[in-house]
Amino acid sequence: MDIKKLQALVIDALEDVKAQDIKIYDTTHLTSMFDSIVVASGTSNRQTKALAASVRDKVKAAGGEIVSMEGENTGEWVLVDLGDMVVHIMQPAIRAYYRLEELWGDKEIRLADIKGGKEARKSGSRKSVNTTAATTGVNKPVKKVTKKSTKTKPTAKPAVKSAAKKAVKKAVPKRAAPKG
């Protein structure tokens, strides 16, 4: 299956189940294992599982191959391996903690480019969307640091990190101490 068609299928499947903050990145210059990566957020375990099922079903219906799916049991981070594309569906706290966008995100693909401009025509204008609220859970944008105010730091990040760490600690069971 053509990578553009696969990308469009995945984006449609995620939008059908109301995924939040969908990002897609070209990774051909970073690895030969896959061509692109998609990162999206779901608000609950149930929604992340439903998003992964939607991706799986749409790709299978179009004749694509599902190599594997991981994380469906917990639903906090579900990975769908489609061969040429890997889809990460995460809850916002887990996404903020692991920050996959920093690892893979230097070549973002615009969603409007994948859909052939349908998205831009649908909204009527190209207004910028505040994605800070979706990824950090904070309703105001993080302050940008300028040369004049180098001592000012974003106020939202520490709260997000601690919330993400708490969520991960709660999700990952502690190992018992070895007997000896």
Which tens digits make up the pLDDT trace of 5-38? 999 999 999 999 999 999 999 998 888 899 999 9
| Dihedral, CA of residue 111, residue 114, residue 115 and residue 120, to nearest 10 | 40
In our burial notation (b when 16+ CB lie closer than 10 A, e otherwise), range 40-74 reads bbbeeeebbbbbbbbbbebbeeeebeeeebebeee
pTM equals 0.64
Which tens digits make up the pLDDT trace of 57-107? 999 999 999 999 999 999 999 999 999 999 999 999 999 999 998 888 778
Q: Give me the helix-helix angle, 3-16 and 45-61, nearest 10°.
A: 140
Q: How large is the average pLDDT for residues 166-178? A: 58
Give the chain's domains with CATH numbers: 3-126 (3.30.460.10)
Which tens digits make up the pLDDT trace of 136-162? 444 444 444 455 544 554 444 445 455
